[in-house]
Amino acid sequence: MGGIIISVISSLSILASTVLSSPTQPATGILPLVIWHGLGDSYENDGMKSIARLAETTNPGTHVHLIRFGASGTEDRDATFFGNVTAQVDEVCQTLASDPVIRNAPGINALGFSQGGQFLRAYAQRCNKPPVHNLVTFGSQHNGIASFTACKDSGDWLCWSFNALLRFGTWSSIAQSGLVPAQYFRDPEELEDYLKYSNFLADINNERAVKNPKYRENLMKLNKFVMFMFKDDTTVIPKESAFFTEVNATQRTHVHLIRFGASGTEDRDATFFGNVTAQVDEVCQTLASDPVIRNAPGINALGFSQGGQFLRAYAQRCNKPPVHNLVTFGSQHNGIASFTACKDSGDWLCWSFNALLRFGTWSSIAQSGLVPAQYFRDPEELEDYLKYSNFLADINNERAVKNPKYRENLMKLNKFVMFMFKDDTTVIPKESAFFTEVNATSGEHTKLQDRPMYKEDWLGLKVLDEQSRLEFLTIPGRHMQLSEALLVQSFRRYFGPVEKSGAKDAGTPDFKVQE
C-alpha cells in the first residue's frame, strides 16, 4: 500500500501544480478532484476515504468528490459488478453538472482507480461538462481485459455469482447491459464479436468503422493524461491494458527457453556434447526452482527436433510441475538409424563430432558424452542398443524391466502432439517422429499401433490414443522448416488458456493428419 500512496501523492502534485500554468485552462486556483474507485470497492471504504483526505491535505482547498452509486456503500460496491456502464457514466455526467461546487468550476481533475479510470475517460469523451483538466489513472483497463479474475475468497458469493453469470455468455445482452467487467472485455482473438456486441469499450475506444469525432475532440482538450501500470499486476489481464497496449494470448505466456552454459556458444555445444540424462536432470531442477514455473499448476512443453524426446523424458522422469500439453516437431522418438552428414566443410565442431561417432556409437565415451549417440537406434543393432543405450532405451521403456513411473506420468498429459516433416532428410528415418519402426534394408514401416510398445502399452501411448489425446500430424517441408502461420496456429490450439487447450481453432483449417 505504501508504494501506491507514494504514487498517489506524486499524481496529486501533478494535478495541483499544472492548473495555474495550463495554456488551455485559465484556472485561478485548485480544481475540484473527482475520484472513481475500482471493482469491488466503494466510496465508504477506508482506502478511498484515506485517499480523499490525502488529496485535501496535499493540496489544501481541494474539493474532493467520490463517485458513488446507490444509498449505501454496499449498493455502491454492487454497482462495480452489476449495472450498465453507459448508464452509470450518464449518471455521473448529470451528478457532476448539478454539484453546486463542481458545476461552477472552470474544470475538474479526475483520478481513476482500476475500471474507474476508463469510466472517467468516458466522462471526458462523452460529456466533459465541466471539462477534465488532468486525467490520472491507476491500473486501468483502457484496452480492456482478456480474462476474468478468479475469486479469491470462497465465501464471496457476489464474486462467485458474478463469474458464473459471465461464463454463460460474455457477449449476451444480459452481460453487455448488466455485468460491468463484461462491458470492457476485449480478447484480440474475439474482435468480431467484440466490435459487434460490446456495449461500452468498443464505443469509447472509437474502434468501430463509424468514429465519433466528439471523443477525439474532447480528449484532446486534456492538459495531461497520465497512466500508471502496476508492474506485478495479476488482477488486470493483461496488465499492459493500462497503457492501451495490445497483448494477445501468446504474448501473455511466460516463456522459458531451456539453455545450458553461460553463452549461446556453450548452449549450442551442449546439443552435441554432454550426458542427456544429466541434462534432463538439470532441466528438472531448473524448472522446479523457476519463480514463475514452480508456482504454476502445470506447464506446456514445445520441443524441436531432439528437444522433443528430451522434454518427454522430463515429463516421464520428474514432471514437477506436470506437463499439460507436449508438442514436438520432427523429433526422434524412436531414435535415429544414421547420423546426419555435415553440410558445411568448415564446421569443425560437426566434423569432429561425427568422427568421434564413427569410432564407436556404443562406447562409454559416446553414450555418456555424444548427444545423438544416446538416441541412436538401429533395428539391426537392437541387442547392443538395449545393452548400452544411455538414454533412449530407458525412456522408451524397451528393456525387460519396465519403469511404471514413465507410463503413469505420460498418461497425465492432456495432449501429446507429434509433428513430422514430410520432406525431412535430416532425421533418418523421419517416421521416428511418430514412434514408427523402419527397416533400413527392406524399407518396411511398422507403425506405433502395430508395435509391442503400443500393444503392451509400455508408455501409456495406447491409453492416450484411445482417449483421443495422442495426435500424429504431417506437415510439408524439410526438417524444422516452419512457417509463422503454422506456429501461430499451434500456439493457439495447444498453448492457449487451459480450458481451451487442445480445442480446435474454428478460424483455421485442420493440420494434415497422418494417413
Tens-place pLDDT, residues 505-514: 434 445 554 4
Name the active-site residue from 114, 424, 432, 490.
Answer: 424
Determine the average pLDDT of the residues in 370-376. 94
Domain ranges of the chain: 2-250, 264-513
Predicted confidence band of residue 161 (pLDDT cuts 50, 70, 90)? low
Q: What is the pLDDT of residue 113?
A: 97
Name the active-site residue from 305, 389, 432, 490.
Answer: 305
Buried b (16+ CB within 10 A) or exposed e, 203-224: bbbeeeeeeeeebeebbeebbe
Among this protein's residues, is 172 annotated catalytic?
A: no
**Do the two domains 2-250 and 264-513 of this chain adopt the same fold?**
yes
Top mean pLDDT of 170-179, 201-210, 485-494 is at: 201-210
For residues 279 and 260, the answer to whether their CB atoms sit within 8 Å is: yes
- Beta-carbon contacts of residue 369 (< 8 Å; ≥ 6 apart): 273, 274, 275
264-513 CATH choice from 3.40.50.300, 3.40.50.2300, 3.40.50.2000, 3.40.50.1820: 3.40.50.1820
Determine the average pLDDT of the residues in 328-334. 96
The C-alpha cell that represents 63 in the structure block: 474539493
Cα torsion 450, 454, 455, 461: sign: negative
Name the pTM for this structure: 0.54
Determine the average pLDDT of the residues in 230-247. 89
- Which runs of consecutive H residues, i.e. helices, occur in 253-388? 264-272, 276-289, 306-317, 348-358, 364-369, 382-388
d(CA 248, CA 417): 23
Pairing of strands 323-329, 64-66: unpaired
- Beta-carbon contacts of residue 229 (< 8 Å; ≥ 6 apart): 139, 239, 240, 242, 243
Determine the average pLDDT of the residues in 242-270. 84
d(CA 339, CA 330): 15
Q: What is the pLDDT of residue 19?
A: 46
Name the active-site residue from 333, 389, 479, 490.
Answer: 479
Among this protein's residues, is 333 annotated catalytic?
A: no
Q: What is the pLDDT of residue 228?
A: 96
For residues 493 and 503, the answer to whether their CB atoms sit within 8 Å is: yes
d(CA 375, CA 367): 9
Among this protein's residues, is 305 annotated catalytic?
A: yes
Q: What is the pLDDT of residue 341?
A: 74
Q: What is the pLDDT of residue 155?
A: 60
Q: What is the pLDDT of residue 160?
A: 64
Q: What is the pLDDT of residue 213?
A: 97
What is the length of the chain?
A: 515
Tell whether the model's pLDDT for residue 107 goes beyond 90: yes
**239: closest CA among 104, 145, 350?**
145
Measure the CA dihedral 165/170/174/178, to 10°: 80
For residue 445, give the 3-state DSSP assignment.
strand
Tell whether the model's pLDDT for residue 419 goes beyond 90: yes
Determine the average pLDDT of the residues in 11-27. 46
Longest dimension (CA), the chain: 94
Point out the least confidently predicted range of 117-131, 321-335, 487-501: 487-501
Predicted confidence band of residue 233 (pLDDT cuts 50, 70, 90)? confident
Measure the CA dihedral 416/421/424/427, to 10°: 0
d(CA 69, CA 92): 9
- φ/ψ (deg, to 5) at 304: -105, 130
**Long-range pairs of 381-386 with CB within 8 A, sequence gap ≥ 24:** 385/335
**352: closest CA among 342, 364, 340?**
342
Cα 234 vs. chain centroid, distance in angstroms? 12
d(CA 215, CA 226): 18
Provide CATH code, domain 2-250. 3.40.50.1820
Q: Which residue has the higher pLDDT, 356 or 403?
A: 403
d(CA 292, CA 295): 6
Q: What rounded mean pLDDT belongs to the chain?
A: 87
% of residues, the chain, pLDDT over 90: 66
Q: What is the pLDDT of residue 17?
A: 45
Q: What is the pLDDT of residue 329?
A: 96
